[in-house]
Each structure stands twice: as structure tokens, then as C-alpha cells.
Amino acid sequence: MTALVDFELREAGDSALVLALPERVDPLLNAWCIAVAGALRDSLGSGVRDVVVGYCTVTVYFDPLASDPAWLENRIRALAARVLRPSGSGGAAVDVPVCYGGEYGPDLDEVATFAGCTAGEVAVLHSQTAYRVYLLGFVPGFAYMAAVDPRIARPRRSTPRTTVPPGSVAIAGEQTGVYPGATPGGWNIIGRTPVRPYDPSRPEPFLFRPGDLVRFHPIDRSEYLRLA
Amino acid sequence: MPRLIVIRPGMLTTIQDLGRWGHQASGVPVAGPMDVYSHRRANRLVGNRDDAAALEVTLIGPELEADADVVCAVTGAEFQIDAGGTPIVRDEPFTVPAGARLRFGRRLAGARASLAVRGGLDVPCVFGSCATSLISGMGPLGGRALRAGDVLMTGAAPTDAPDRAGESAPLRLPQGGARLRVMPGPHRHMFTTEAYDRLFGSRYTVTPDSNRMGYRLAGPALTHAAGADILSDATPIGSLQVPGSGLPILLMADRQTTGGYPKIGTVITADLPLAGQLAPGDWIEFAACSRQAAIDALAQQERALERARR
């Protein structure tokens, strides 16, 4: 545990407040946001409608006719001041099998060209890092993870696909993620996993939580088909 | 309980309640009605709770057949409507007789009507809500809009429903456009002063590339002070996010939970129902608003909803 964190409180309209830290992809700042979000959920109870973690923000949604915003600001400041900066990840370890390239990874070759290496080397670089889940967003179960090796950190595609197959594993700059369902998407698709990030039939429908540490491991096509 | 059979679905008719709150941290969008005021009002007119599931009708309305007498109310956008050939007066409860069809005809004003039935629609909930989220395919009917042949069950009318329908004030519908009040921020520091002058001094148009997720606006571009990317954070309804093009997008009911573009301002909650009644081609003018004025406006709107029959 180290020093407290400096933050700013910003208005996002009349029904949301944003607690904002210095804007950078930083595991410690994000861990603090997750801890603060937990403290706010526990302490503010029915006074708030939702608490959402960003990379370096916590957004609190409330009904301004039920909770006075000035009072809420003071409560948030007081509660946040009591949260120490966590030292570790605090999340679970999650293993995600991926079949890289081929029909499952239509953009793997472009990422390889970007990196100046082979497709196989991209798969190695992508799977040898443990990624932190910074936040979930976009659609149910989509986890924003970082940080991708700078060599394969190809920026998002200029024209997004209108639909991306569920389970697609993709890269956008230093971020990586797994598409939970068939949605539009602009990230570079390098492979596919048979594991579903969101499955309402599981006791725990969401595979990832903010703060988790995720490792991808390469599988071949027959293994993919066996697991799918 | 009476059932409604979908004969024609209309352009985009979805089942909505007051939204799926409390799970945005897992990426679950809120969804809910584009015009919350009219949704609540339609429910009150038929003796339901505010959060009962009702239909949101978009631009071209549906045709529905009732298999038993069913009490309904329509609020929000103004359409020519008949039930079994009898013209229906908007903003009052009416009965669709058994075997008759409720038909939406020509649209006269506004973009979206709320159609509530007594007892609400009896549909399964996901994470405590039966709102339809089109982007995530979550909600009743697998998270999609109505199709011909769908059968909608109605629920039991609550016995404890407060008698508060009365003559609450209908939402004033936009006539070709609307003036929306905006609180600056949360990324005020990422825009130039000129960008704010332009936002509050120009007229924007809702483009055809607009939907329940958001309205893409045409008009003067807004200049970023430093870059058009932020690290993804939460995206409240009413946010005016500004991508690299400088053309703002007004985030609406079906927005994603997070986004990576800076937000120059947020339309106040009291003006969101009006925003929800805008259609492609309509104009928008933005006016700066303080937090206190925004909350006063919301309290006033709540009183208009509560106003009882005299």
C-alpha cells in the first residue's frame, strides 16, 4: 500500500459524476478505480443506479431527484479518500485457448506485415503476455485488456466490419479483447476462441471481471473444433 | 390474459421497460425507452407501474390483433390510430375489443409512441429488466424488434396500482426540431472555446444515419483542443461525443456502456424525452445549462407527470 491518489470529480450531465484520475493505461490506477467502485457500491447502496469502471475513471449514475448531487460529491470524495492504492491485481487468472489465423483470424497476416514478422511469431508474441482486464464495456462481457507487445500493436482498422463472429480474438493498438457476440467491430481479428465471454446459461455468465489476468494459449483447429 | 398478435410489426417496434440498470460494469447496456416520460405516462394511464413493459413504436407503427378485450393507452408521437375501425384518441385509455385490430396509420408529429397495455406485457426478464437492447441482442424476443406472427402475452393488472393516471400533461412534441439544454463536460478541457461557441451558436440536423443508439448530427465541426481519443470510459445517455470528424453524436437509449471519444457536453435529463421524439431531418439547437437549472427542470417535469385529474 502506498500513497493516496489524486483525482478530479467531473459532472457528466445532471445524473452522473465521473471520478477521473490522470489519463493513462496504468494497472495501479485502474486497480484503485476498481477498489473505489466497490467501496461506492457497498456504501452508497440504493442511492446510486450504477457504478462503471473505465481505464482510469469511475462513473457513478444516480437519480438527482432522489440523491442531492452536492451531497453525493462529498460522499464520493470521503469514500474515495479512504481507499488505499492496491498493490496487486486482485483479480482471477483466466486461461483462453485460441486458434490463431486461417479462417478464424482474417487479419493475422496484416498484423504480421505491420510487425515485420511471420504470422506464427504474432501468435507467439500475443500469447506470451499476461493481460490485465481494465474494464468491461461495449457489449455484455467484452473485456478491454492491455498491454499488447508494441511490435504487434496494429491500430484499429479504418473501416470496421459490419459483423464479427463470436469468440473472435482481436487487437487494436495496445488493447486486445474477445468479441462475445456477433457485433460490428473495427479491431484486427487474429484468431478465435471456443470459450464464450458471455454465456447466460453459466452460473457466472461473465468470463472476465475488471482486474483479472488473462493468458491466451494457442490451440490447433482440431482442438478448437473439439472444444467448440 | 389477453394476447396481442403482431400482424404488421411497423418499422421498429420494441419492448421496453425503464432499462437494465446496475450491470454496465459487465458491459450490459441499459436500453429502455427513448422517451421515458411518455413510457411512464402510458403505463399510468392504464393503471400500471411506471416500469411495466410496453411497446415503443418508431415512425411507422404496427398493426396488432387482440384475442380478448384489452385496455391500452398511446402516448408520445402522434399517429392516426384506430381499433377495429374506431378512431382512437391519444393520451386516454381505450379498449381494443376481442378479435379487433389496433392499427397505426399516418404519423402526424414526433417520432416514437409508447403503447401500454393494462397489466403490462408479460415477457421474460434478463438481469431484472425486459428492455430490448438491439446492440447486444438482450431482452425479450432474443433482443430483437417485433416481427409479424409474434404473440405478446399481457400480464395481470396490478391490484395495488395507484390511481394517478389523471390528466398529467402530455409531452410537448417537437415541430421540425428542438432546442436541447446541455451541461458542459465531462471532457471540457479537451475542446477549444470556439468549439463551445459553435456548439451553442449553431443549428445541427439529425442525419438518416441515426438510431436508438445515437443521433449522428450534421452541422459545424467542433474542434478538439488536443486529440480525439480518450481511454474508454462510461457513456451516459445524452452525452455529446465528438469523434475525429468533429461532428457530434448524441448518445441515446441503446448506447454502448463505454466509449473512446471525448464528450463535450450532456443533454439534461429533462430534455431527453423531447430528444427521443426527433426524427432524421429534424434540427437541434443546443443551449448551455447549469446543474441546478437541469435539476429544477427535471423536478418540474416530474410534477407535470404527477398532476392529477381535477
Q: What is the predicted pLDDT for the residue at B229?
A: 84
Q: Which of B247, B288, B254, B249 is nearest to B271 (CA)?
A: B288
DSSP A45: G
Q: What is the predicted pLDDT for the residue at A156?
A: 86
Q: What is the predicted pLDDT for the residue at B283?
A: 98
Q: Which of A198, A64, A139 is nearest to B213 (CA)?
A: A139
Q: What is the predicted pLDDT for the residue at A158?
A: 79
Q: In degrees, to the nearest 5, what angle opens at C-alpha B36 toward C-alphas B33 and B38?
A: 105
Mean pLDDT over A151-159 rounds to: 90
- Classify the phi-psi angles of B11: left when phi > 0, otherwise alpha if psi is within -120 to 50, otherwise beta: alpha
Measured in angstroms, the CA of A37 and the nearest CA of chain B are apart by 10
Q: What is the predicted pLDDT for the residue at A183?
A: 85
Residue B187 near residue B262 (C-beta atoms within 8 A): yes
Q: What is the mean pLDDT of chain A?
A: 93
Which pLDDT band holds residue A12 (cuts at 50, 70, 90)?
very high
| Rounded-to-integer distance, Cα B107 and Cα B112, Å | 10
Q: What is the predicted pLDDT for the residue at A4?
A: 63
pLDDT block averages, 10 residues each, chain B of length 310: 97 98 96 98 94 98 97 97 95 96 98 97 96 94 97 87 66 96 96 97 97 96 89 96 94 95 97 98 98 98 73
- Classify the phi-psi angles of B71: left when phi > 0, otherwise alpha if psi is within -120 to 50, otherwise beta: beta
Q: What is the pTM of this model?
A: 0.94
Cα A36 to chain centroid, rounded: 17
Q: Which of A121-125, A160-164, B176-180 has the lowest mean pLDDT?
A: A160-164
Measured in angstroms, the CA of B231 and the nearest CA of chain A are apart by 6
Q: What is the predicted pLDDT for the residue at B309?
A: 36
Query: Which 3 state secondary structure label does DSSP give B274?
Result: helix
Q: What is the predicted pLDDT for the residue at B160?
A: 64
Q: Do B231 and A50 touch (CB under 8 A)?
A: no
Q: Which of B247, B250, B272 is nearest to B195 (CA)?
A: B247
Residue B235 near residue B209 (C-beta atoms within 8 A): no
A3 pLDDT above the threshold of 60: no
Query: Which 3 state secondary structure label does DSSP give B124?
Result: coil
Measured in angstroms, the CA of A204 and the nearest CA of chain B are apart by 12
Query: Which 3 state secondary structure label does DSSP give B166?
Result: coil
The pairing of beta strand A213-218 with beta strand A93-100? parallel
Q: Do B257 and A52 touch (CB under 8 A)?
A: yes
Reported as type and span, the H/E element at residue A39 is: helix A27-44
Any A CB within 8 A of B68 CB: no
Per-residue pLDDT of A24-72, as tens digits, reads 999 999 999 999 999 999 998 787 999 999 999 999 999 999 999 999 9
Any A CB within 8 A of B306 CB: no
A154 pLDDT above the threshold of 80: yes
Cell of A103: 479462417
| Rounded-to-integer distance, Cα A28 and Cα A35, Å | 11
Residue B93 near residue B168 (C-beta atoms within 8 A): no
A225 pLDDT above the threshold of 70: yes
Q: What is the predicted pLDDT for the residue at A184?
A: 84
